[in-house]
Structure 1
Amino acid sequence: MRLRTVLATAAATLAAATCLTAAATLAAATCLTAAGPANAAWNNACSPAVSIDRFSDALDKTTYDDTFVGNFSALAVDHHRHGSLVALSDRSALFSLDAKTLAPNAVVPLADESGAALDSEGLVIDRDRTRLVSSETEPSVRRYSRDGRILDRLPVPDALKVAPAGRAVTNGTFEGLTLLPGGRTLLASMEYALSGDSAGIVRFQTWQRNRPTGGPFALGRQYAYRADTGLGVPEVQATPDGRLLVLERGWTSGVGNTVRLYLADPRRATDTSGVENLTGQDGVRLIRKTLLADIVNCPSLGATAKQPQPNPLLDNIEGMAITGYSKGRLRVLLVSDDNQNAVQTTRFYHLRVRV
């Protein structure tokens, strides 16, 4: 997402994590253990549920194969290559990264059907190793081969298209993209509300297929999620039990970034695909969310910022991947989009999250 000023004014209260019963619409597994008070004692705690192990600025303002390394909008783990990482640049490039050192070892350019660049924002590596990439230009979701050839394009509801074709605002469409457990449900998160919907209520669109891999996706259910005042949704990732990690982010001139991590559950939310206007007072059951951490509360670990920030560790965090899971604990990697801007930083954040 291009840098924009967003007034971030709301404070959020840490709520108790609740295990919700799964509905048949989305595949579900046993609920993960909720974070308890004892979690507050762990090292480098950002909250009772989240801690930060380390950060890395190693790729900031670097190049690889004559391509600028940065503008990262999404991350994904390629489980077929011993857990190597793939990072998506919103300037139409896919970088393969070494999972341990983060060093790039390949880059693949992307384009639309006419050869034009994308505003590429969301990334999923499917089980057949093809790449599903969302672009917020139209918006769109396309399937690419590993060498960057377009294989397929998914349908998008008219209302979610950028005006005048639809009701979405420019640079406010598909940002997050994730595949739910079981491989049959793909979910994309809009960043901002549609025209006609109440401010802060954003739509999450799903697609369904009949088999876990390789089959065509058809439009599925749609859900509504309320972001905190002044914040948008730049990324979403499915947890092993079918819930979602949701990033919310904003930026205030002269103050800096606000970045919050939520645990959300869409499994009892209303299907809003037939609801024209979401007002928040229409009986629609929103996706329930629980604050895991406000990243401003993480220890800075010696990080420095090139522009005002409420915590020098913060930057324009936009990408997220779950890199490991064991007994209700997730390893989560975040990355910031530096917008190829001298006063911003490409920074990776290694978190531990108890859900």
Structure 2
Amino acid sequence: MRPRTVRTVLASVTAGLAAAACLTAAGPAQAGNGSGPGHACSPSVGIERFSDALDKTTYQDTFVGNLSALAVDRDGSLAALSDRSALFSLDGRTLQPRAVRPLADESGAALDSEGLVVDRDGTYLVSSETEPSIRRYSRDGRILDRLPVPDALRVAPAGRAAANGTFEGLTLLPGGRTLIAAMEYALSGDSAGTVRLQTWRRHGADGFRLGAQYAYRTDPGLGVSEVTATPDGRLLVLERGFTAGAGNTVRLHLAEPRHATDTSGIAHLTGQDGVRPVRKTLLADLADCPDLGATAGQPQPNPLLDNIEAMTVTGRSDGRLHVLLASDDNQNAAQTTRFYFLRVRL
């Protein structure tokens, strides 16, 4: 989505990272200039390269863009979710599309699809911020299930969430038992910048049931655009904002939810309620990355930046995670579908 102005068992994870080795074995077509391992954004984060290979392209008459989520699929390919109800399978080496599946709700209407998880049985969990909702889809795009959502997280007037500000991020913790969805912005009645992370717990054949909820405080003017679990059970969190005439702010944080207060029974988060929020640590402001020769179609603090809102861990080596980001171009000539290849030391 366009940001507002101013603003899987541990074994499953390990297997997914192993299957994804091909994603880091070779660079994609049309990688950015100056690629290499030594391009530091911060002491914890370096950028290896970027790729604009898919920008303003089509596949099987479907626009390849509007990308809002990424996940490593079981065969090592990339699953890339468009917020226009399309799920692409991308080649892990070249990023070129190999298949596309249309997605829809129960009535056949399009989704504002924003979050993606490949579950351990190979089915897809997809969040849409329209209601919001989380649905399970088969490999061929059929709806299999729908998860419950707390009333307060629904878009007003059904709940207290703002339209276009709900389930922007989705991830499955190691062990495959806990699913987490991140709201993008605060609920009405909560303090500005205090967003809620909702969890579900897996209960065997009964599927996922509602679990704990946590408060996460964003940097001023920013919202959560994606969350991705690390192999040790923490979260990588992308915070993003946009200011007309100035461009995007994109920051990568490491978050630890395990000691945070369960806020599922707290109606309003005011900052003076004794709630212990999710602890976070800034890993990098991506404006501090070298631009690697990138260009931008609109003002940006760094021409490398765009509307980044997709993220997945594709592997690890030498004590660092290989993290892939992608931007949502909103099918806009001034924005770019761009992939970013990072190495992150936790």
Instruction: State if a TM-score over 0.5 links the two structures.
Output: yes
Q: How many residues align?
A: 318
Equivalent of 1:49 in 28, 36, 44: 44
Identify the residue that residue 59 of structure 1 maps to in structure 2: 54
Deviations 1:211-257 (CA, angstroms, capped at 9, x unpaired): 4xx65100000000000000000100000011000000000000000
**Structure 1 residue 278 displacement after superposition:** 0.3
Q: Partner residue of 2:295?
A: 304
Matched, 1:290 2:281: yes
Give the match for residue 134 of structure 1.
127
Change in 2 beyond 3 A, CA 1:179/1:60:
same
Q: Does 1:176 align with 2:169?
A: yes
Extract unaligned runs of 5+ from structure 2. 8-36
Structure 2 counterpart of 1:106, which letter?
A
Question: Per-residue deviation at 1:329?
Answer: 1.2
In the alignment, the residues of structure 2 paired with residue 51 and residue 347 of structure 1 have an alpha-carbon distance, to the nearest angstrom, of: 17
Cα separation, 2, equivalents of 1:159 and 1:172: 13
Matched residue type, 2:178: T
Q: How many angstroms apart in 2 are the aligned matches of 1:258 and 1:312?
A: 12
Moved over 3 A (4+): none
User: How many Å separate the matches in 2 of 1:327 and 1:280?
Assistant: 40
Q: Which amino acid aligns with 1:118?
A: L
Matched position secondary structure for 1:313: coil
Structure 1 contact 88–121 (Cα < 8 Å) conserved: yes
Q: How is 1:46-125 mapped onto 2 (pairs within 5 angstroms)? A: 46-78=41-73, 80-81=74-75, 83-125=76-118
> C-alpha separation between the residues in 1 aligned to 2:202 and 2:216?
23
Q: 2:27 corresponds to which residue?
A: none
Cα pair 2:196 2:214 within 8 Å, conserved: yes
Q: Are the counterparts in 1 of residues 203 and 209 from structure 2 also a CA contact under 8 Å?
A: no
Deviation at 1:316, TM superposition (A): 0.2
1:4 equivalenced with 2:9 (yes/no): no
TM-score, scaled to structure 2? 0.90
Counterpart residue number, 2:320: 329
Q: 1:3–1:339: 8 Å Cα contact kept in structure 2?
A: no
Structure 2: distance between partners of 1:96 and 1:210 = 29
Q: Distance in 2 between matches of 1:275 and 1:255?
A: 37
* Structure 2 residue aligned with 1:210: 203
For 1:348, the equivalent position in structure 2 comes to 339
Match of 1:161 in 2: 154
* Aligned-partner residue type, residue 254 of structure 2: L
Amino acid in the other structure paired with 2:6: V
Is 1:280 paired with 2:275? no
Using the size of structure 1 for normalisation, the TM-score is 0.88
Whole-angstrom distance in 2 between the partners of 1:328 and 1:132: 29
Provide the C-alpha distance between the structure 2 equivalents of 1:347 and 1:138, rounded to a whole number of angstroms: 28
Cα deviation code 1:187-214 (max 9, x no counterpart): 0000000000000000000000134xx6
Aligned residue type for 2:55: D
**Partners of 2:2 and 2:307 within 8 A in 1:** no
Cα pair 1:261 1:292 within 8 Å, conserved? yes
Residue 247 (1) aligns with residue 238 (2): yes
RMSD: 1.2
Residue by residue, what CA displacement relative to the aligned partner does 1:77-122 show, whole Å, maximum 9, x if unpaired? 01x21x1100000000000000110000100000000000000000
In the other structure, the counterpart of 2:218 is 227
Give % identity.
79
Structure 1 alignment gaps of length 5 or more: 8-41
1:143 aligns with 2:99: no
Please state how far the C-alpha of 1:313 moved relative to its aligned partner. 0.2
> Which residue does 2:30 correspond to in 1?
none
